[in-house]
Amino acid sequence: MFGLTRARTTTAVAVTAAAAAAALLSAPTAEAAPQPIVGGTTTTTTAYPFMMQITDASQNQFCGGTLVSATKVVTAAHCMAGETTSSVRVVGGRTYRNGTNGTVSRVSKIWVHPDYTDATKGNDVAVLTLSTSMPYTTASYVDSSDTGVYAAGTTARIVGWGTTSSNGSSSNQLRTATVPTVSNAGCASSYGSDFIASDMICAGYTSGGVDTCQGDSGGPLLIGGVLAGITSWGEGCAQAGYPGIYTRLTTFSDEVTEQVES
């Protein structure tokens, strides 16, 4: 999430990512800052084998990602702001942020949507190509024709290592929660013109209490077990009246597939 809203990345990253997160957090209007799961429960990468940690070169996790093929990870564009292939690592099979197990891979290519800008927060999608294949079950993702998955009130699952309260401490163990999708009209009533219906989908409870937060950026919004969104931004974390905002992946599915198959 960006700004006071959540561009959901953490401060444990290298200077480049930290600067990007700071920029997001200082963005005007609906601010967004990276966030960990608020109001959820602990889980494991055994339950979510496609859940990847995106870390700096020292393996400090700052964003999440979803493994969609053995060497391709879908994440948020804002997670990659200022990053290079040498500054980023991807870690799979590691339930705990402070763990040492799992598979660590360098990144050989970073594709960021060419139309992504911090100003609008739209087009918030990136694909990483890994130097090392991940031996974990991959996630399928929505097709461009699957727009019906976002029907208001549909149960979606969020997963990440983000903070458990706004500007709080990140969770050491992977966490998960469920949230209902919100209609475009409902999201627009919360965020006004900052909500771009073609690029974004909202999910959360009117009363708040459950949400992604800092550090969850780039992680999955799963609907029916399928990757349907990417944790992007929001106003604070779990605030009443301000659901989380996720990249509407159906809009970018064809472009993601081009990268996955390249």
Cα distances from 147 to residues 1, 20, 152, 210, in angstroms, run 23, 31, 12, 24
Considering 87, 166, 170, 217, which one is annotated as catalytic? 217
Q: How far apart are the first and last CA of the chain?
A: 29
56 is catalytic: no
For the CA atoms of the chain, what is the radius of gyration? Answer: 16
- Placement of tokens 């870690």 in the chain: 91
Alpha-carbon span 5 to 233, nearest angstrom:
6
Tokens of 74: 């879908």
Strands 244-248 and 200-203: antiparallel
124 is catalytic: yes
Considering 78, 105, 113, 166, which one is annotated as catalytic? 78
> Using an 8 Å Cβ cutoff, are 110 and 164 in contact?
no
Considering 87, 105, 118, 124, which one is annotated as catalytic? 124
78 is catalytic: yes
Q: Which of 45, 159, 162, 163 is nearest to 94 (CA)?
A: 45
**Active site amino acids:** 78, 124, 217
